[in-house]
Structure 1
């Protein structure tokens, strides 16, 4: 079986590479995330799960392929934040996070061949220090908030605004490894079998 990462996220790719996991990257299906992010009737957890599932269902796999899709969202004050697209949106996101606790939810979908995807998610609490307008404007000027759920990167410059976290660090980056290990056992795959597996073949 071949392990596939269906994601454009360089952070998810880097996490797997740093663990020495063999995999092949394939394009992530295009999904209109705004439909889900702007729906107040859907919880942040369900939003992440539905987005990961939609991506997974759009994949055409052989019976010898196991694909991972994922989606990360940030939740605060009953709002679900995706990735900011403009300076103004990034500023709004960071103002909401400033001095507050928020949740980062990453949902994972694993799909083998034409089987129904298996879904699960991880949630981590993240605490931000109060941010001044100057700090917010400076951070936005670095360009780092864009392409990141909630408008920050815990593994980058965004770390200077974080006072503490409660839960999985890798979940905030975009791929909760412990959850992935647990989900792989459903396919009778030992996580260690993926380490240095040539080309992602298990």
Structure 2
């Protein structure tokens, strides 16, 4: 039994990321709906990676809430049900102040690996929660990661695997790239795409029931 079933207001996840869905499931949370939003993710000039993660997550949450509000206005009042919580996240990988792309092309992924090889980088995930009453709550979680120096063979093999596609910084720590990590300081789940401890704290702080199903053995 999911936590959502015991919260008066349902949870909408403003993402279609399988990784985020899996991480929420690990915490016993099943979103009532996935509502990915499409926004311009281009950083502003001189925008710090932390600020970028915060801004994009907030824009995604607000955009999803706008869509939901539009849908609810078209429904009869007795059909609407309670307004939902809307949760959004955005993960940014950066070396210094340089934001790494979400690699879509092989050349982008190759460039990311060369940049990350033998160096430390930071992973920022912005969390944004719009409450049923329309309040916006936000957090940014930071994790420091260091890669070993990658050989040419390792880079070529990882690029051939295709795991990098669509990933911030051109890698997925929960996959093959986990073998590249020699040091991690902070939240591991943050690097995967959703810092669980902070997400649960944000939800419970606003009254979403996360732990009821745990006590019932229904997770």
TM-score by length of 2: 0.82
Q: 1:45-194 counterparts in 2 under 5 A?
A: 45-59=50-64, 60-61=67-68, 64-113=83-132, 115-193=134-212
SS at match of 2:179: helix
CA contact (8 A) 1:40 1:79 kept: no
Q: Distance in 1 between matches of 2:212 and 2:48?
A: 35
Superimposed CA distance per residue, residues 49-100 of structure 1 (whole angstroms, 9 cap, x where no aligned partner)? 1110111111233652001110001010320113111111101011010000
Greater Cα offset, 58-67 or 10-19: 58-67
SS at match of 2:59: helix
1:44 counterpart residue number: 49
Unaligned runs of 5+ in 2: 1-8, 70-81
Aligned length: 194
CA contact (8 A) 2:174 2:192 kept: yes
Offset at residue 132 of structure 1 (A): 1.7
Q: Distance in 2 between matches of 1:16 and 1:195?
A: 13
SS at match of 1:149: coil
Q: Distance in 2 between matches of 1:193 and 1:43?
A: 38
Q: Distance in 2 between matches of 1:120 and 1:81?
A: 21
Compute the RMSD of aligned alpha carbons: 1.9
Q: Distance in 1 between matches of 2:191 and 2:215?
A: 25
Pair 1:13 & 2:18 matched? no
SS at match of 1:50: helix
Greater Cα offset, 137-146 or 113-122: 113-122
1:2 counterpart residue number: 10
TM-score by length of 1: 0.89
Pair 1:30 & 2:68 matched? no
CA contact (8 A) 1:99 1:131 kept: yes
Unaligned runs of 5+ in 1: 198-202
Greater Rg by CA:
2
The structure in which a higher percent of residues are strand is: 1
CA contact (8 A) 2:27 2:196 kept: no
- Cα distance, 1:193–1:42 mapped onto 2, change above 3 Å: farther
